[in-house]
Copies of this chain bind each other. A is one copy, B any other.
Amino acid sequence: MQPTSYRTHGCGTLRSSDVGTIVRVAGWVRRVRDLGKFVFVDVRDRSGILQLYAPADSPWYQPLCALGREWVIQAEGRLRQRESPNPNLPTGEVELEVTALRVLNTAATPPFLVEDETDGQEELRLRYRYLDLRRPIMQRRLQQRARLMDILRRYLTAQGFLEVETPMLIRSTPEGARDFVVPARLRPGTFYALPQSPQLLKQLLMVAGCDRYFQIVRCFRDEDYRGDRQAEFTQLDCELSFVTREEILEIFEGLVRHVYAELLGIEVGEIKRLTYAEAMQRYGSDKPDLRYDLAWEEVTAWAHRQAVPFWQNKRVFWLWVAGVKASRNLQARWKALAEAAGLSLAFIQRAEGTYTTTLSKYFAPETLGLSEDGLGLWLAGEKLPGPELGLLRSTLIHDLNLPPQRPWALAWILDFPLFELTPEGRLTAAHHPFVQPHPEDLDRLEQEPLSVRSLAYDLVINGYEIMSGSLRCHTPQLQLRVFRALGLSEAEAYQQFGFLLEALGYGAPPHGGCAFGLDRWLMLLTGGTSLRDVIPFPKTASGADLMLQAPAPLSPEQKAEILRWLTVENT
């Protein structure tokens, strides 16, 4: 065989209709089964798996038997019907009777099984990511990732969005998480920063008249990667001019529906809209998992009419979980959870029509009018509503192993607070300092800033914040008012955000936008359990690339050079 062309077909593309054709394929040896009278070899490429065959009297019988797992081979022959078809394989009705074989590369024995069901622990698989990615499930995830990006780009392009690349070497701005910094060799003592998002650049693109911008873009956060976070992540970044909040929600609702339809063939049902206040009141979370209908109901007025002493002067929330029975053990755990947060938790259990409750001395359970078996909870406290409602709700869902009412639940959360307090009691931007205050609350910006809502919105899917966005301040006057509320003097504001304020002064259009966390969305869309399942070359929780062995110490020369940079004084 001469390599004028390594193959005529992909392994996984051959069917009964190709029987009789002379076929050449190339790929990896998945397994060799020598049955004495003949040998079967499964060969795998990106398109799938094909069975090679040779009888014992073939000159290719011995060479085929001698192949090792994951060797790279090229095989030629006539395609024939299998005697015993394999219905689990798209190519299961055919096999290739080998009349030429060439070993293109041998392979050491992989440190784990290159199959969907692998015996490799994650650390080992990350170390040999190029073998891990050979597993069909990982190949499918890579393909779904590429497919999602393609769907997003086509949809947005058709909607008049322009993909614009923004720089990666930018300026550090005191906003949000910590920046990765990059020494600038040509300008000793100075540094670039890697973007946490192209937020300001996309706003400048609106000032530039780009109208509708998008970008699928890498962003960076030098955080402690507790939980499932990555130092670098990919977002779909969008910004639009001359739009209302309603128009933005409609456009991206369309995008999201389109993605589910194209990628999964799923018709997304109603996309609920909740204000932040409603979400906190009913679910105790600004990213509630609405696959579960479970919701809190405030019963404070009713509770104050009861003789329950620890309900007086408290706000009381009621949750009903139909059809379940919770053990005393579970009840005790949940109670401890509530009490650790300074709240009281009481229960009523109805089982086969009979009630059990610690509150029976205060009122008769029958007066509640419960019409079915199930578990009821009252959570009471001064600080409610708060995140404890959400924590308890998700703990119940987990501990009782409740079934979701639907596989997908999408919801908009609207009217977030503009500001929040840091643990030290300082006012800070709840999203970022460029968010536009809600026009109805504008007159309270200086006097009661914590009561001011914003024009921010989040899209929550199955309990994850998948997209976050807002209308922005588009006049320098309003932007300065927000900076001032955040405690920045005009001089400080100009020092830190001068180019933005200046740009807003040169005719900025009304604008707003959003960013989708694509890694997390993909994790949901592909049924992965970690961001590492959908990022081709991810880092560990401590920021290491186990395959490349990065980060790594610098050479003494590079280190000395950086020390020289740092010690230059800047004017």
Measured CB to CB, the residues of A under 8 A from B are: 3-7, 26, 28, 44-47, 70-72, 74, 104-108, 110, 128-134, 139, 142-143, 145-146, 149-150, 153, 157, 162-172, 178, 180-187, 189-194, 201, 204-205, 207-212, 218, 220, 222, 224-225, 231-232, 234, 242-244, 246-247, 474-475, 499, 503-510, 535-537, 539, 542-545, 547-554, 558-559, 562-563, 566, 570
- The answer on a CB contact under 8 Å between B6 and A510 is yes
- The answer on a CB contact under 8 Å between A542 and B187 is yes
Q: Across the interface, which residues of B come within 8 angstroms of A150, CB to CB?
A: 153, 157, 163
- The answer on a CB contact under 8 Å between A506 and B231 is no
A-B contact pairs, 12 of them (CB 8 A): A45-B242, A47-B211, A104-B509, A104-B510, A105-B510, A107-B505, A110-B506, A133-B208, A146-B157, A166-B537, A180-B183, A201-B537
- For A211, the closest partner residue in chain B by CB is B46
- The answer on a CB contact under 8 Å between B146 and A163 is yes
> Measured between alpha carbons, how far is A502 from B164 in the docked complex, in Å?
38
Q: How close is A436's CB to chain B, nearest CB, in angstroms? A: 12
**CB within 8 Å for A242 and B551 given contacts A70-B507, A208-B131:** no
- The answer on a CB contact under 8 Å between A130 and B205 is yes
In this complex, which of A184, A504, A542 has the most chain B Cβ atoms within 10 angstroms of its Cβ? A184
- The answer on a CB contact under 8 Å between A108 and B505 is yes
Q: Across the interface, which residues of B come within 8 angstroms of A162, CB to CB?
A: 142-143, 146
Q: Across the interface, which residues of B come within 8 angstroms of A189, CB to CB?
A: 553
> Measured between alpha carbons, how far is A229 from B208 in the docked complex, in Å?
24
Option from B168, B187, B205, B475 in Cβ contact (under 8 Å) with A105: B475
- The answer on a CB contact under 8 Å between A178 and B167 is no
**CB within 8 Å for A192 and B551 given contacts A186-B542, A542-B187:** yes
Option from B164, B169, B172, B570 in Cβ contact (under 8 Å) with A231: B169
Option from B187, B510, B551 in Cβ contact (under 8 Å) with A184: B551
> Measured between alpha carbons, how far is A551 from B105 in the docked complex, in Å?
47
- The answer on a CB contact under 8 Å between B507 and A210 is no
Q: Which 3 A-B pairs have the closest CB atoms?
A: A107-B507, A171-B550, A133-B208
- The answer on a CB contact under 8 Å between A46 and B553 is no
- For A166, the closest partner residue in chain B by CB is B537
- The answer on a CB contact under 8 Å between B536 and A242 is no
Q: Across the interface, which residues of B come within 8 angstroms of A539, CB to CB?
A: 167, 169
In this complex, which of A178, A505, A537 has the most chain B Cβ atoms within 10 angstroms of its Cβ? A537
> Measured between alpha carbons, how far is A495 from B212 in the docked complex, in Å?
48
Q: How close is A61's CB to chain B, nearest CB, in angstroms? A: 22
- For A212, the closest partner residue in chain B by CB is B46
Q: How close is A169's CB to chain B, nearest CB, in angstroms? A: 6
Q: Across the interface, which residues of B come within 8 angstroms of A193, CB to CB?
A: 550
Q: Across the interface, which residues of B come within 8 angstroms of A218, CB to CB?
A: 165, 168, 218
- The answer on a CB contact under 8 Å between A169 and B232 is yes
Option from B71, B130, B169 in Cβ contact (under 8 Å) with A204: B130
> Measured between alpha carbons, how far is A145 from B157 in the docked complex, in Å?
13
- The answer on a CB contact under 8 Å between A548 and B183 is no
Option from B72, B191, B232 in Cβ contact (under 8 Å) with A507: B72
**CB within 8 Å for A554 and B191 given contacts A204-B130, A218-B165:** yes
Q: How close is A88's CB to chain B, nearest CB, in angstroms? A: 20
Q: How close is A97's CB to chain B, nearest CB, in angstroms? A: 21
Q: Across the interface, which residues of B come within 8 angstroms of A190, CB to CB?
A: 551-554
**CB within 8 Å for A536 and B499 given contacts A171-B552, A208-B129, A507-B28:** no
- The answer on a CB contact under 8 Å between A182 and B194 is yes
- The answer on a CB contact under 8 Å between B149 and A163 is yes
Q: Across the interface, which residues of B come within 8 angstroms of A209, CB to CB?
A: 28, 44-46, 133-134, 139
Option from B44, B130, B553 in Cβ contact (under 8 Å) with A207: B130
Q: Across the interface, which residues of B come within 8 angstroms of A543, CB to CB?
A: 184, 186-187
- For A203, the closest partner residue in chain B by CB is B130
Q: How close is A19's CB to chain B, nearest CB, in angstroms? A: 23
> Measured between alpha carbons, how far is A182 from B157 in the docked complex, in Å?
34
> Measured between alpha carbons, how far is A104 from B509 in the docked complex, in Å?
7
Q: Across the interface, which residues of B come within 8 angstroms of A4, CB to CB?
A: 244, 246
> Measured between alpha carbons, how far is A271 from B92 in the docked complex, in Å?
44
> Measured between alpha carbons, how far is A134 from B508 in the docked complex, in Å?
11
- The answer on a CB contact under 8 Å between B550 and A169 is yes
Q: How close is A146's CB to chain B, nearest CB, in angstroms? A: 5
Q: Across the interface, which residues of B come within 8 angstroms of A563, CB to CB?
A: 563, 566
Q: Across the interface, which residues of B come within 8 angstroms of A570, CB to CB?
A: 553
> Measured between alpha carbons, how far is A108 from B501 in the docked complex, in Å?
12
Option from B164, B168, B184 in Cβ contact (under 8 Å) with A146: B164
> Measured between alpha carbons, how far is A71 from B475 in the docked complex, in Å?
12
Contacts A46-B212, A106-B507, A164-B536 supplied; 5 other A-B pairs, CB < 8 Å: A108-B505, A133-B209, A165-B536, A169-B550, A170-B548
Q: Across the interface, which residues of B come within 8 angstroms of A194, CB to CB?
A: 168, 182
